[in-house]
């Protein structure tokens, strides 16, 4: 079997660790594995699959001989993605730096794998909420043509990294002890609370996270005028993002037909049995790679409307797994 030399930039972070786990679980054909990080972590040792790796420093000379370079996120890709391409590697970037660049494919393999064919060395991994959103939306769009979508997200604290997890734990303990919740990561206490504010506010008083869902979805689906409105909310859940999605279609699609379509869709698991109180929940979708869909029902307030409830692990499918699937799809399409 042919193997590929792989580097991970940001190997010590949450997404970097999930990339390592995913490469092993999915048996990706790794030849040399090169783990890279900032000056703070360079030189440290890390165990992976019974082998000790020394973490290297991310610089312009770190990519020689690599076939694939995963950037786990952050601004570092703006500095080092092009040097990695110049060294002969394909870059799969988890940051937002290249997502809306018209010369860079923005790819979810279950949705638009054909966009990989025109890459010029860099492929962008979409925002976690967008990935979860489009995996459920695309098969329904193919069936009945989506006209308008209203999506509200309920996003886990791990979307803000390890520090978000630590803040929820710390604040929960503080509040239960009757002391004031100390804030470091989020603008308000997240324990026992919801915060309708993720990232910075931008045009029209929408947040950057909300605009990501709009603009990235339009690009991935190749429908630049698709009408989408989003509200993104941080919730006191450790892992897995949830989304309430209201869809208006050009043609009639029944709830029964939607269940049938989604049950056959790649990467989707339908959990929809209200009589037995079965529906997707973050607690039961964490550490899995599929997108779970339930609460599928017709919206009687509009013609041709549906409501669905979607949940997925945003660190896995929403980040690391999708990035690895991009590399796997490139191998299948003879692009690596």
Catalytic amino acids?
128, 241
Burial annotation 53-68 (CB, 10 A radius, 16+ → b, else e) = bebbebeeebbeebbb
Q: Which of 37, 43, 81 is nearest to 60 (CA)?
A: 81
Sign of CA dihedral 129, 70, 221, 308: negative
Which tokens in the block code for residue 81? 């993605």
Is 209 within 8 Å of 202 (Cβ atoms)? no
Q: In Å, how far from its chain's centre is CA 40?
A: 26
For the beta sheet containing 68-71, the strands, ordered from the edge strand earlier in sequence to the opposite edge, are 56-57, 30-37, 4-9, 68-71, 90-93, 122-124
| Cβ count within 10 A of residue 81 | 25
């Amino acid at each position: 079997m042919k193997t590929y030399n792989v580097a991970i930039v940001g190997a010590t972070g949450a997404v970097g660790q999930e990339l390592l786990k995913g490469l092993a679980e999915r048996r990706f054909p790794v030849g040399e594995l090169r783990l890279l990080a900032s000056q703070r972590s360079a030189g440290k040792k890390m165990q992976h699959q019974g082998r000790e790796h020394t973490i290297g420093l991310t610089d312009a000379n770190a990519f020689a001989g690599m076939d694939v370079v995963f950037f786990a996120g952050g601004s570092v890709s703006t500095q080092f993605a092009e040097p990695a391409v110049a060294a002969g590697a394909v870059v799969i970037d988890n940051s937002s730096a290249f997502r809306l660049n018209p010369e860079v494919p923005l790819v979810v393999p279950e949705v638009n794998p054909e966009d990989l064919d025109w890459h010029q060395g860099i492929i962008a991994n979409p925002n976690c909420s967008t990935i979860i959103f489009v995996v459920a939306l695309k098969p329904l769009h193919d069936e009945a043509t989506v006209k308008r979508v209203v999506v509200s997200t309920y996003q886990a604290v791990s979307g803000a990294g390890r520090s978000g997890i630590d803040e929820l734990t710390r604040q929960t303990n503080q509040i239960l002890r009757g002391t004031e919740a100390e804030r470091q990561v989020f603008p308000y206490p997240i324990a026992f609370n919801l915060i309708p504010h993720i990232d910075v506010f931008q045009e029209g008083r929408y947040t950057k996270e909300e605009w990501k869902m709009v603009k990235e979805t339009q690009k991935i689906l190749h429908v630049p005028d698709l009408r989408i409105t989003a509200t993104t909310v941080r919730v006191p859940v450790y892992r897995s993002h949830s989304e309430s999605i209201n869809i208006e279609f050009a043609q009639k699609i029944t709830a029964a037909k939607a269940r049938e379509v989604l049950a056959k869709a790649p990467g989707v698991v339908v959990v929809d049995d209200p009589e037995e109180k079965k529906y997707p929940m973050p607690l039961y979708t964490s550490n899995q790679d599929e997108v779970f869909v339930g609460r599928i029902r017709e919206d009687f307030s509009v013609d041709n409307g549906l409501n669905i409830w979607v949940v997925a692990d945003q660190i896995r499918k929403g980040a690391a797994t999708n990035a690895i699937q991009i590399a796997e799809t490139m191998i299948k399409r003879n692009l690596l």
